[in-house]
Amino acid sequence: MTVMPLDEVTVIELAGLGPVPFAGMILAGLGADVIRVDRPGGPPIPDPMIGAVGRGKRSIAIDLKKPEGVNILLELVGNADVLLEGYRPGVVERLGISPDDCLQTNPDLVYGRMTGWGADGPYASMAGHDINYIGLSGALHAIGGAERPALPLNLVGDNGGGAMYLVAGVLAALHDRERSGGVVVHAAMVEGAASLSAPFYEMAAAGLWEDHREVNLLDGGAPFYTTYQTSDGKWMAVGPLEPHFYAEMLNGLDIDPSEFPGQYDRDRWPELRSRLAGAFAERTRAEWEDVFTGTDACVTPVLSLSEAPEHAHNLARRVFSGSAGHHLPNPTPRIDGRDPSPFADAPDIGIDTGEILARLGYDDARIQALRDLGTVS
Q: How far is it, in rounded angstroms, from Cα 324 to Cα 306? A: 8
Nearest alpha carbon to residue 224 among 186, 182, 203, 252: 252
Q: How far is it, in rounded angstroms, from Cα 136 to Cα 93? A: 27
Give the amino acid at 2.
T
For the question of residue 129 being annotated catalytic, the response is: yes
For the question of residue 141 being annotated catalytic, the response is: no
Q: What is residue 60's DSSP assignment? A: E
Could you tell me if 143 and 150 are in contact, meaning their C-beta atoms sit under 8 angstroms apart?
A: yes
Catalytically annotated residue among 47, 129, 186, 311 = 129
Burial of 109 (0-12, 13-18, 19+ CB in 10 A): buried
Alpha-carbon distances, residue 35 vs 13, 246, 257, 292 (angstroms): 6, 50, 59, 46
Give the amino acid at 372.
D
Q: How far is it, in rounded angstroms, from Cα 313 to Cα 111? A: 39
Catalytically annotated residue among 33, 38, 63, 158 = 158
Q: What is residue 115's DSSP assignment? A: E
Q: Is 114 helix (H, G, I), strand (E, B) or coil?
A: strand
- Active centre residues (catalytic): 129, 158
